[in-house]
């Protein structure tokens, strides 16, 4: 069996995910999901392969040029076929051997594993028996890239070749399935979060004025990788000074100065699952009174959000309640007036001047994991809690984020307990 850096989820999990998907599909449905492309850079360079999340969720296979076919019969019965890129001598020499058919069967629980050379005739045969085809389409509401994926290209080609064949998107079905995590998935996310928090705690005492944002990125990367992570689960944000107010600052090129804050929004990946954490710390190890006031206000919102993340609460109502609570904190900080808040007391729009993003997103294989529209909180879901206050005119931005699991009893478990939340704890750990 091919050795992996991480402990893989047992094949039974992937068999179960395919069973659950098939149970939602009508008879004579055909599911087709391709792996993501290996994208080019320049000259003969390529980016590292990042697997399609739905393919990984249904098979556990993290390899390029992989295809899953599911032929659904009556009562949720289904016949699955996995197609793989076949290893040859050149691939072995230059890239290392790919999965054997036997190894892929052990990982995925799919008995019928073939090489991709058989794909075209097999697809034609499957199409002759299908009444409807379900396609992997990324319909995430915040997706904005114009680049076509391999699955996008396949969908276009299929519709051109079979114009009479009805097609449907798998997105709403898989978004619903992926929202609630199994015990196996929770274990992977816990490990990603453990690595995220412990890596940050390890570098926190080393932060000091004159250090580059890039140095902190390098130290974090080392801490994550030595804990068996593949690295960051997304491009790390390490933003000092005025850039603490830039939500997706990723250049990490500045030197951190005495008296500034530095905002970390980082996460480690483990076994295909993501951690996601934000902390905002004083470069010199001591918050100024104003920085501390803003930090404590954000932390109060964070605590409130954790208290109201209860089973049965829908996401939109949750976000509205948090904005209303945030409004009070912004009044206390002198950033908003009472009249501004009272003009729209149910959901004060003025809050968005200093708090312009949402408080929580689902977390799993994707950092911004897929969900149905306006999901309802329930046990087994994993969410971030990440309020922030951003005051560009003062050069102060504070975001505090942790990842939580909703428990059956209605409370939440903090999955990143090793990274301090309280300002006094941060300062104590930063004493040199």
Q: What is the C-alpha separation between 342 and 310, in angstroms, rounded?
A: 27
DSSP-derived letter for residue 116 is G
Question: Given this model, what pLDDT does residue 3 score?
Answer: 64
Give the separation between CA 197 and CA 383, rounded to whole angstroms.
16
d(CA 389, CA 365): 28
Q: Mean pLDDT, to the nearest integer, of 142-149?
A: 86
**Contact between residue 162 and residue 30 where contact means Cβ atoms under 8 Å apart:** no
**Are β-strands 67-72 and 29-34 bridged in parallel, bridged antiparallel, or unpaired?**
antiparallel
Which residues are paired to 388 by β-bridges? 399
Tell me what the mean pLDDT of segment 304-319 comes to.
98
- Closest C-alpha among 389, 225, 181 to residue 296: 389
d(CA 79, CA 367): 31
Residue boundaries of the structural domains of the chain: 11-179, 183-429
Enumerate residues 6+ apart whose C-beta is below 8 A from 13.
60, 182, 184, 185
pLDDT (mean) for 189-201: 98
Q: Is residue 93 classed exposed, middle or buried when 0-12, 13-18 and 19+ CB atoms within 10 A define those classes?
A: exposed
Q: How many CA atoms lie within 13 A of 229 on its CB side?
A: 29
pLDDT of residue 144: 81
Please state, in angstroms and rounded to a whole number, the distance separating the CA atoms of residues 56 and 62: 6
Question: 50: closest CA among 372, 274, 356, 312?
Answer: 274
CB 231 within 8 A of CB 269: yes
Q: Which residue has the higher pLDDT, 43 or 96?
A: 43
Q: Which CATH architecture does the domain made up of 11-179 adopt?
A: 3-Layer(aba) Sandwich (3.40)
What is each CA distance from 93 to 49, 85, 97, in whole angstroms? 18, 15, 8
Of the candidates 57, 72, 47, 46, the one whose C-alpha atom is nearest the C-alpha of residue 15 is 57
Q: How many CB atoms lie within 10 A of CB 120?
A: 9
322 and 388 in contact (C-beta within 8 Å)? no
Please state the φ and ψ torsions of residue 416, each to the nearest 5 degrees. -125, 65
pLDDT tens digit sequence for 235-279: 999 999 999 999 999 999 999 999 999 999 999 999 999 999 999
In tens, the pLDDT along 321-335 reads 999 999 999 999 999
Longest dimension (CA), the chain: 73
Question: What is the tens place of the pLDDT at every residue in 54-93?
Answer: 999 999 999 999 999 999 999 999 999 999 999 888 888 8
Q: How far apart are CA 118 and CA 152, in angstroms?
A: 21
> Which DSSP state fits 407?
-
CATH topology of domain 183-429: Creatine Amidinohydrolase (3.90.230)
Q: pTM score, two decimals?
A: 0.96
pLDDT of residue 432: 63
Residue 221, SS3 per DSSP: helix
In whole numbers, what is the pLDDT of the chain averaged over residues? 96
**Cα(200)–Cα(211) distance, integer angstroms:** 16
């Amino acid at each position: 069996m091919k050795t992996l850096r991480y402990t893989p989820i047992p094949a039974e999990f992937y068999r179960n995910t395919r069973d659950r998907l098939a149970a939602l599909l009508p008879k004579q449905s055909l599911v087709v999901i391709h792996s993501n492309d290996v994208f080019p850079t320049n000259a003969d360079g390529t980016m590292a392969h990042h697997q399609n999340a739905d393919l990984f969720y249904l098979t556990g296979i993290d390899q390029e040029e992989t295809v899953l076919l599911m032929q659904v019969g009556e009562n949720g019965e289904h016949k699955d076929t996995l197609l793989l890129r076949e290893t040859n001598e050149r691939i072995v020499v230059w890239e290392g051997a790919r999965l054997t058919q036997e190894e892929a069967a052990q990982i995925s629980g799919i008995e019928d594993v073939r090489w991709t050379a058989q794909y075209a005739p097999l697809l034609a045969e499957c199409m002759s028996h299908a009444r409807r085809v379900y396609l992997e389409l990324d319909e995430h509401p915040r997706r904005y890239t114009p680049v076509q994926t391999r699955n996008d290209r396949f969908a276009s080609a299929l519709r051109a070749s079979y114009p009479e064949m009805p097609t449907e998107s798998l997105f709403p079905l898989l978004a619903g399935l992926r929202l609630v995590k199994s015990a196996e998935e929770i274990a992977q996310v816990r490990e990603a979060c453990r690595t995220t928090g412990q890596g940050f705690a390890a570098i926190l005492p080393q932060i000091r004025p004159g250090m580059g944002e890039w140095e902190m990125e390098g130290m974090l990367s080392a801490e994550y990788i030595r804990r068996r992570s593949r690295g960051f689960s997304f491009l790390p944000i390490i933003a000092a000074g005025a850039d603490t107010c830039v939500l997706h600052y990723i250049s990490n090129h500045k030197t951190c100065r005495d008296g500034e804050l530095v905002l970390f929004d980082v996460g480690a990946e483990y076994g295909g699952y993501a951690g996601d954490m934000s902390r905002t710390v004083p470069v010199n190890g001591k918050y100024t009174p104003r920085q501390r006031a803003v930090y404590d206000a954000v932390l109060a919102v964070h605590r409130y959000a954790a208290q109201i993340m209860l089973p049965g609460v829908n996401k939109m109502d949750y976000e509205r309640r948090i904005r209303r609570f945030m409004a009070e904190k912004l009044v206390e900080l002198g950033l908003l007036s009472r009249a501004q808040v009272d003009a729209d007391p149910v959901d004060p729009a003025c809050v968005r001047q200093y708090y312009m993003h949402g408080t929580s997103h689902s977390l799993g294989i994707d950092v911004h994991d897929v969900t149905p529209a306006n999901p309802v909180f329930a046990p087994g879901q994993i969410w971030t809690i990440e309020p922030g206050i951003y005051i560009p005119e003062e050069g102060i931005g504070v975001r505090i984020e942790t990842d939580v699991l909703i428990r059956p009893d209605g409370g939440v478990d903090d999955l990143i307990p090793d990274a301090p939340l309280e300002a006094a704890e941060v300062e104590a750990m930063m004493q040199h």
